[in-house]
Amino acid sequence: EPEVTQTPSHQVTQMGQEVILRCVPISNHLYFYWYRQILGQKVEFLVSFYNNEISEKSEIFDDQFSVERPDGSNFTLKIRSTKLEDSAMYFCASSELIGGGQPQHFGDGTRLSIL
């Protein structure tokens, strides 16, 4: 069964450094998302992306965050200058269509640790 893949599974970065988290969505899916989950807390929406544009973003997704689809398969989340509070599990998801009933399929996540 097709799945969303995320790399790396764990990223350790010094505070202030830039980090790029990578995702390969399911191949026929058109809509992509990033969520984060701080340890022990609920999952929080960051951004949705369609047709090479951000379609929706949350208050968390400030100027230090950006997303890109650099080629036909990858979908990346960049954090420009990381802070300690960026430490979290970051999940990428994709869905075939945008309709509200379309399930979003998640990758296994990237655990980001900021030192």
| Interface residues toward other proteins, by CB under 8 A | 31, 33, 35, 41-45, 48, 55-56, 58, 89, 91, 93, 98, 100-101, 103-109, 111
Q: Which is nearer to other proteins, 92 or 114 (CB)?
A: 92
State in angstroms the smallest separation of the CB of 55 from other proteins.
Answer: 6
For β-strands 110-114 and 10-13, DSSP reports them as: parallel
For β-strands 5-7 and 53-57, DSSP reports them as: unpaired
State the CB neighbour count (10 A cutoff) for residue 38: 13
Q: Which is nearer to other proteins, 77 or 93 (CB)?
A: 93
Q: Which is nearer to other proteins, 20 or 43 (CB)?
A: 43
Q: Which is nearer to other proteins, 13 or 45 (CB)?
A: 45
State in angstroms the smallest separation of the CB of 101 from other proteins.
Answer: 5
State in angstroms the smallest separation of the CB of 45 from other proteins.
Answer: 4
Cis peptide upstream of residue 8 (ω within 30 degrees of 0): yes
State in angstroms the smallest separation of the CB of 17 from other proteins.
Answer: 23
Residue 38 CA: distances (Å) to CA of 14, 53, 83:
18, 26, 13
State the CB neighbour count (10 A cutoff) for residue 53: 9
